[in-house]
């Protein structure tokens, strides 16, 4: 029975989805999502979900969570593991694709033994963020756990609060936990990392932001606001939506909105790269979106 699993990781806009279209888009493979924001049903444009017209095989766990609901790494990892095992029973190689470090870590290595959520502490931190600003909590986290603070975004409210909650409850630093060597849940795994020269990556990010606006990102956001989902939308780590909301509410102009989205996406890519560099077992390949290197082809086939 097939036991192989291919993981395809890399920062946003590094070309993971295009590579899937080129290399794995037939019935010998199934594609399984490992992006924490591409799970949401009503966010196809802003989270750059695969385009249905280009899909020729099964793409699983994309756009299946309803707006207003939440997903977490532990629950999602269980779902991915189930799909991997289902693929193996059918004799198909699963290709797990994504750029969300925490989700990938849970899928590939399993979750750390951490305390359960404490609503009282979480509410206290939420109120502190509202009163003093999220940057205040991020700076506190940087003092307590600089290694973890380095690999997450200063705008990632959920992970900042969770890391502080864990420290308050257990005095455990997530940055130190991430350094501990871990075994692969699926031993016959191939973890492919895509790297793009930073200046080129940033240029691709800037261009992609414009294309996403042209594809209807603003209209997508307007539909969610009409459904009364503003607070849910703004609480997500997904890049860009808060700036689009500010534009829709006439708080900023369109050019400012676009520049802020570009900036935040570049910052997010930088944090992703930092996270992935700390992951063991990754085989790194230079990749320019729209092309497939012979080295990578030879490596896989």
For 37-58, how does the pLDDT look when each residue is reduced to its tens digit (9 = 90+)? 999 999 999 999 999 999 999 9
Q: Helix (H, G, I), strand (E, B), or coil: what is residue 82?
A: helix
Candidate from 79-83, 161-165, 214-218, 246-250 with smallest mean pLDDT: 161-165
Q: Is the pLDDT of residue 290 over 80?
A: no
pLDDT at 124: 92
> CB atoms < 10 A from the CB of 2, how many?
13
- Closest Cα partner for 32 from 89, 87, 72, 70? 87
Name the segment(s) of the chain with CATH classification 3.40.50.300.
Answer: 5-110+182-300
Q: Is the pLDDT of residue 253 over 60?
A: yes
pLDDT at 239: 94
Candidate from 30-39, 131-140, 213-222, 292-301 with smallest mean pLDDT: 292-301
Would the pTM of this model clear 0.75, i.e. be above it?
yes
Span 180-194, average pLDDT: 87
For 15-45, how does the pLDDT look when each residue is reduced to its tens digit (9 = 90+)? 999 999 999 998 999 999 999 999 999 999 9
Task: Let me know if domain 119-179 sits in CATH 3.90.79.10.
Answer: no
Mean pLDDT of the chain: 91
Confidence of residue 295 (pLDDT cuts 50, 70, 90): confident
Q: Domain 5-110+182-300 falls in which CATH fold?
A: Rossmann fold (3.40.50)
For 225-250, how does the pLDDT look when each residue is reduced to its tens digit (9 = 90+)? 999 999 999 988 899 999 999 999 99
pLDDT at 300: 81
Span 167-178, average pLDDT: 80
What is the DSSP annotation of 122-156?
HHHHHHHHHHH-HHHHHHHHHHH-HHHHHTS-TT-
Q: Helix (H, G, I), strand (E, B), or coil: what is residue 214?
A: helix
E-strand ranges in the chain read 5-9, 29-33, 59-60, 93-98, 189-195, 282-286
For 116-170, how does the pLDDT look when each residue is reduced to its tens digit (9 = 90+)? 778 889 989 989 988 999 999 999 999 999 888 887 888 888 889 988 998 998 8
> CB atoms < 10 A from the CB of 200, how many?
13
**What distance, in Å, lies between the first and last C-alpha atoms of the chain?**
19
pLDDT > 90 fraction of the chain, expressed in percent and rounded? 68
């Amino acid at each position: 029975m097939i036991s192989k699993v291919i993981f395809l990781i890399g920062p946003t806009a590094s070309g993971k989805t295009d590579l899937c279209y080129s290399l794995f888009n037939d019935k010998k493979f199934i594609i399984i999502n490992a992006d924490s924001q591409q799970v949401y049903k009503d966010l196809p444009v802003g989270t750059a979900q695969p385009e249905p017209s280009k899909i020729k095989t099964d793409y699983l766990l994309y756009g299946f969570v309803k707006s207003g609901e939440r997903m977490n790494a532990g629950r999602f990892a269980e779902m991915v593991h189930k799909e991997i095992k289902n693929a193996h029973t059918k004799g198909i190689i699963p290709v797990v694709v994504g750029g969300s470090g925490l989700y990938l870590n849970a899928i590939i290595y399993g979750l750390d033994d951490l305390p359960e959520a404490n609503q009282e502490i979480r509410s206290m931190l939420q109120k502190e963020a509202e009163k003093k600003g999220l940057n205040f909590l991020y700076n506190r986290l940087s003092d307590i756990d600089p290694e973890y603070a380095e690999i997450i975004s200063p705008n990632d409210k959920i992970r900042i609060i969770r890391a502080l909650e864990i420290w308050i409850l257990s005095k455990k630093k997530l940055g130190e936990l991430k350094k501990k060597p871990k075994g692969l849940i699926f031993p016959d795994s191939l973890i492919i990392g895509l790297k793009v020269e930073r200046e080129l990556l940033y240029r691709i990010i800037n261009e992609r932001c414009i294309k996403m606006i042209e594809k209807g990102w603003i209209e997508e956001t307007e539909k969610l606001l009409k459904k009364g989902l503003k607070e849910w939308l703004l609480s997500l780590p997904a890049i860009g939506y808060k700036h689009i909301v500010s534009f829709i509410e006439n708080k900023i102009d369109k050019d400012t909105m676009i520049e802020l989205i570009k900036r935040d996406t570049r910052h997010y890519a930088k944090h992703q790269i930092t996270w992935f560099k700390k992951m063991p077992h990754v085989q790194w390949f230079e990749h320019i979106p729209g092309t497939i290197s012979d080295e990578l082809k030879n490596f896989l086939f």
